[in-house]
């Protein structure tokens, strides 16, 4: 093949390949979306989660359920949701520890710790992706792999994510991690596969004290809307204008 | 007609421009240019992921009796899969013995929630795992679907652990709770509907702490209750369960 023939071929080859790929993509996409998304209109929903700090007993069951439901790596430093224990001392010192990184035996051993009379307040705070209305992680993704769905959930497309970790740095809530199996960014999805079927997220399903309330902020009759009405609500780092959809009731000012 | 040389060159440039525009907007598929089709495909993939936790309304369809018992008791807010683990595989094939949800009978399982921890909310029932019938399985006295105290709790620390423990290291350690609180009989079985009393007047503290009092236990902490602390109630400044304040 000489140069002339090659160039002639290329003129037809590249556009033709493009057309074929486009046809292939749209055919596959249509077939999939027809079967999986039938009867679900994301524009009718705007999901959020309520967390009542005063109800959390720190049992860690939500963390375990999340790991099972979403195949989160077992190692105790990969979390889509986790529980922090705050101990606020009289001199203003704040001790924060993640109880989810402990083994069940270590968590039981916490019960034998002697009482520290200098602690003036102590409580557990469940943490998760805040599913911000204005997510910084989406802004910084260089390849558009992380995005917000029409129902307000921030997802990561593991097929286009290049694992640059920029979103992990950008998240003010530390809610993202690099999945060691896929080598891509991973985070809470509000159990998107469950909520679109009308089920509750796994953490909400197992929470024994109803410290977590899942709901649809677009709905007129919803537990989360009622939760907003009945409680004084705070969000984490409101000064960043991320407009989180994780709404905390009875949130202490020391929680960061 | 012979086109001037400069028009030919311009034609080439315009032609190239048209090729680029046509390729970009009509020939290349959207998935090569925009992230949107990839995101739409991701949403579809995400929705198709398998569910592991079936949800308690699914459990109810076969286990109505346990569900109703739970709904009437203190464990009403707890989903079945909190204790029994993910049950979707069991729902799909109830004869599969390997997928049968476990029944946790070991003591440590219950203590995971009900063992005393200072950070747990006040009023949440907690026991001291070291002292409360050590070595005995919780389920031998308490039905997990309708847990009731086997007998009324003997001391207040059963539910008010942080207060009991704080008081125990304070100068008020020798005072029984009933010195300041009258506890209705039904409070132990129906706590929120029958609340104990709390002191309402300064006289409650002045009994021991007024200069006129002769109680030897409070000898080091006597004030003139008529003038001390303006009109505030005593407990607005002094935490009665740790009156000397945090160390």
DSSP helix/strand/coil, A76: coil
Residue A180 lies in a domain: yes
pLDDT for B16-26, tens place per residue?
Answer: 999 999 999 99
DSSP helix/strand/coil, A192: helix
H-helix or E-strand spanning residue A124: strand A119-128
How close does chain B come to A212, measured CA to CA in Å?
A: 11
- Give the CA dihedral A193, A197, A199, A204, nearest 10 degrees: 30
How close does chain B come to A243, measured CA to CA in Å?
A: 22
Chain A CA closest to residue B35: A144
Whether B86 and A69 lie within 8 Å, measured CB to CB: yes
Residue B142 lies in a domain: yes
Q: What is the mean pLDDT of residues A149-176?
A: 96
- Return left, alpha or beta for B37; rule: phi > 0 is left, psi -120 to 50 is alpha, else beta: alpha
Is the ipTM value over 0.90, yes or no?
Answer: no
pLDDT for B119-160, tens place per residue?
Answer: 999 888 888 888 888 888 999 889 999 988 767 677 788 778
Chain B CA closest to residue A209: B77
Chain B CA closest to residue A154: B43
H-helix or E-strand spanning residue A203: helix A202-206
Residue A167 lies in a domain: yes
pLDDT for A94-107, tens place per residue?
Answer: 999 999 999 999 99
Nearest to A215 by CA among A238, A246, A186, A178: A246
Chain B CA closest to residue A57: B120
Is the pLDDT higher at A11 or at A23?
Answer: A11
Chain B CA closest to residue A26: B37
Whether A18 and B169 lie within 8 Å, measured CB to CB: no
- Determine what percent of chain B falls in helix, strand and coil, rounding each to the nearest 5: 45, 0, 55
- Hey, CA dihedral for B10, B15, B18, B23, is it positive or negative? negative
pLDDT value, residue A133: 96
Q: Which residues contact B85 (CB under 8 A, 6 or more apart)?
A: A68, B101, B102
- What whole-number distance in Å separates Cα of residue A245 and Cα of residue B139? 39
| pLDDT tops 70 at residue A45 | yes
Whether B35 and A208 lie within 8 Å, measured CB to CB: no
In B116-169 the beta strands, taken as DSSP E runs, fall at none
Containing structural domain, residue A140: 136-186
Residue B183 lies in a domain: no
Number of domains in chain B: 1
Residues of chain B in contact with residue A59, where contact means CB-CB under 8 angstroms, are: 112-113
Nearest to A51 by CA among A204, A218, A205, A216: A204
| pLDDT tops 90 at residue A180 | yes
Q: Which residues contact A94 (CB under 8 A, 6 or more apart)?
A: A86, A87, A88, A254
pLDDT for A107-135, tens place per residue?
Answer: 999 988 888 888 999 999 999 999 999 99
Residue in A200, A205, A209, A249 to test binding to B, most B beta-carbons within 10 Å? A205
Is the pLDDT higher at B203 or at B17?
Answer: B17
Band of residue A30 on the pLDDT scale cut at 50, 70, 90 = low
Residue A201 contacts residue A81 (beta carbons within 8 Å): no
Residue A169 lies in a domain: yes
Residue B234 lies in a domain: no
| pLDDT tops 80 at residue A190 | yes
Residue A164 lies in a domain: yes
| pLDDT tops 60 at residue A27 | no
Six token digits for residue A26: 């749209």
Residue A176 lies in a domain: yes
pLDDT value, residue B133: 85
- Measured in degrees and rounded to the nearest 5, phi and psi for residue B62 equal -110, -30
Residue B149 contacts residue B188 (beta carbons within 8 Å): yes
Contacts 24+ apart (CB under 8 A), A248-251: A248/A50, A248/A51, A248/A52, A248/A53, A248/A125, A249/A50, A249/A51, A249/A52, A249/A53, A249/A54, A250/A52, A250/A53, A250/A54, A251/A53, A251/A125
Number of domains in chain A: 1
**A-to-B residue pairs, Cβ atoms closer than 8 angstroms:** 183
Six token digits for residue B122: 């006040």
Q: Which of A37, A90, A111 sits opposite B129 (nearest CB)?
A: A111
Q: Which residues contact B75 (CB under 8 A, 6 or more apart)?
A: A208, B144, B145, B146, B147
| pLDDT tops 80 at residue B172 | yes
Residue A178 lies in a domain: yes
For tokens 């989406």, name the residue.
A138
Nearest to B185 by CA among B196, B175, B177: B196
Whether A59 and B112 lie within 8 Å, measured CB to CB: yes
Containing structural domain, residue B163: 105-171
Q: Which of A68, A104, A192 sits opposite B46 (nearest CB)?
A: A192
Residue A176: which CATH number?
3.30.70.20
| Residue A238 CB neighbours (<10 A) | 10
| Residue A167 CB neighbours (<10 A) | 25
Residue A142 lies in a domain: yes
How close does chain A come to B91, measured CA to CA in Å?
A: 15
Interface check for B73 against chain A (CB to CB < 8 A): the answer is: no
């Amino acid at each position: 093949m000489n140069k002339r023939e090659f160039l002639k071929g290329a003129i037809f080859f590249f556009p033709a390949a493009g057309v074929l790929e486009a046809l292939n993509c749209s055919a596959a996409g249509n077939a999939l979306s027809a079967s999986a998304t039938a009867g679900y209109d994301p524009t009718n929903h705007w999901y959020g989660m309520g967390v009542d700090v005063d109800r959390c007993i720190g049992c860690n069951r939500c963390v375990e359920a999340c790991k099972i439901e979403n195949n989160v790596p077992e190692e105790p430093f990969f979390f889509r949701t986790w529980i922090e224990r705050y101990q606020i001392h009289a001199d203003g010192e704040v001790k924060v520890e993640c109880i989810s990184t402990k083994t069940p035996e270590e968590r039981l051993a916490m019960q034998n710790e002697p009482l520290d009379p200098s602690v003036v307040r102590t409580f557990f705070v469940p943490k998760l992706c805040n599913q911000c209305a204005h997510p910084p992680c989406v802004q910084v993704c260089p390849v558009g792999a992380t995005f917000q769905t029409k129902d307000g959930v921030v997802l990561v497309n593991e097929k286009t994510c290049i694992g640059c970790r920029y979103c992990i740095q950008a998240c003010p809530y530390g809610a993202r991690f690099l999945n060691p199996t896929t080598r891509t960014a991973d985070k809470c999805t509000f159990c998107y596969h469950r909520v679109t079927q009308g089920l509750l997220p796994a953490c909400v399903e197992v929470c024994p004290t109803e410290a977590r309330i899942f709901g649809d902020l677009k709905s007129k009759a919803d537990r989360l809307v009622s939760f907003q009405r009945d409680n004084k609500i705070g969000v984490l780092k409101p000064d960043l204008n991320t407009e989180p959809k994780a709404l905390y009731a009875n949130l202490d000012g020391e929680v960061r | 007609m012979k086109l001037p040389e400069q028009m030919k060159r311009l034609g080439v440039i315009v032609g190239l421009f048209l090729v680029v525009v046509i390729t970009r907007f009509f020939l290349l598929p959207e998935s090569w240019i925009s992230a949107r089709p990839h995101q739409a495909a991701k949403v579809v993939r995400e929705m198709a992921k398998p569910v592991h936790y079936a949800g308690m309304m699914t459990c109810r369809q076969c286990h109505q009796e346990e569900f109703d018992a739970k709904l009437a008791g203190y464990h009403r807010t707890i989903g079945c899969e909190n204790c029994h683990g993910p049950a979707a595989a069991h729902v799909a094939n109830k004869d599969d013995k390997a997928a049968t949800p476990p029944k946790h009978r070991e003591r440590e399982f219950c203590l995971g929630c009900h063992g005393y921890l200072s950070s747990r909310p006040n009023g949440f029932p907690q026991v001291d795992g070291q002292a409360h019938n050590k070595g005995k399985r919780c389920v031998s006295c308490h039905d997990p679907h309708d847990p009731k105290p086997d007998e009324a709790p003997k001391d207040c620390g059963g539910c008010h652990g942080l207060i009991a423990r704080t008081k125990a290291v304070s100068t008020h350690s020798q005072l029984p709770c009933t010195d300041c609180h009258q506890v209705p009989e039904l409070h132990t079985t129906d706590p929120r509907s029958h609340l104990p009393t709390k002191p309402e007047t300064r006289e409650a503290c002045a009994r021991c702490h007024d200069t006129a009092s002769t109680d030897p236990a409070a000898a080091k902490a006597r004030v003139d209750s008529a003038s001390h602390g303006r009109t505030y109630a005593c407990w607005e400044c002094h935490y009665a369960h740790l009156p000397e304040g945090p160390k």
